Amino acid sequence: MPETVASSPGQPSLLLVLHDVAPHTWADYQPFVEAVDALGSIPMTLLVVPDFHRRYALDADVCFRQQLERRLARGDELALHGYCHADEGPPPLTPGEYFMRRVYTREGEFYNLSRDQALERLLAGIRLFERHGWPLHGFVAPAWLMSEGTREALRQLPLSYTSAPQTLFRLPDFTAVPAPGLVWSARSRWRRGLSRLANDAREAHWRHASTIRLGLHPVDMRHDFSRDYWLTLLQRLLAQGRQPMTKVAWLASQARA
């Protein structure tokens, strides 16, 4: 497996992160991934869902697992992204909970889990990675939503990081490491338009940031407008001298700095 090139001290970086990686989403990502590969050696972090919505189990899909192993061989990182990526909890009881679990997202799997519930799902995901011999360093909750029970469970596990929209957290003590991120809401034309405006402003604001995370989702790949944005942005950041890195490699470089 090739080693990810570490950035030089003070060299800015970019972290290309693909969310919701599962057998049924890979067809969305594949043309984009091929375009990125054509640009050179650009490692990515793939956020892998073990059993997306209880319908797309990795253990049952040999061909997709082989795809992931080829990505590992290229230098990509695989991270655990929930277990089923679906909110299976009881109906929300308060307006605030309703907003978070029905308006903001319906996929906040770890939003209100107890410690034991979260630990069960996390361990199941870890065991899947172990069965297939895949190195595992990080966990990202769907929609970045974590209950206190989830945080307690993560403190007990041999993982090195988790994340929020603008921050990475070293585990087990949740030490915050600023890592600003760009993300789209691409489900409708007006959302895509607003996302473009918001991300252009954030890119300008973070032009001197030590790293910028690009958080892509499968729905982004289904529209030329958003897919072309991500590829153009990636090329622009590379031209500015930003070093592409995986999340775990970047965190290791920060520890050495």
201-236 tens-digit pLDDT: 999 999 999 999 999 999 999 999 999 999 999 999
Tokens encoding 195: 């996302």
Domain 17-256 has CATH 3.20.20.370: yes
52: helix, coil or strand? Answer: strand
Residue ranges of the domains in the chain? 17-256
Q: How far apart are CA 79 and CA 21, in angstroms?
A: 10
* pLDDT recorded at residue 92: 65
Of 2, 46, 42, 51, which Cα lies nearest the Cα of 21? 46
Rounded to whole angstroms, the Cα distance separating 14 from 178 reads: 13
For 221, list phi and psi in degrees, rounded to 5: -75, -10
Q: Is the pLDDT of residue 5 over 70?
A: no
Q: Taking the mean position of all CA atoms in its chain, how far away is CA 157?
A: 19
* pTM of the complete model: 0.92
The single-letter DSSP state of residue 140 is: -
Extract the tokens encoding 180.
Answer: 């600003």
d(CA 102, CA 68): 32
Distances (CA, A) of 11 to 76, 185, 197, 209, 215: 20, 30, 27, 10, 21
Predicted confidence (pLDDT) per residue in 131-175, tens digit: 999 999 999 999 999 999 999 999 999 999 999 999 999 999 999
Q: What is the pLDDT of residue 192?
A: 85
Separation between Cα atoms, residue 180 and residue 203, nearest integer Å: 10
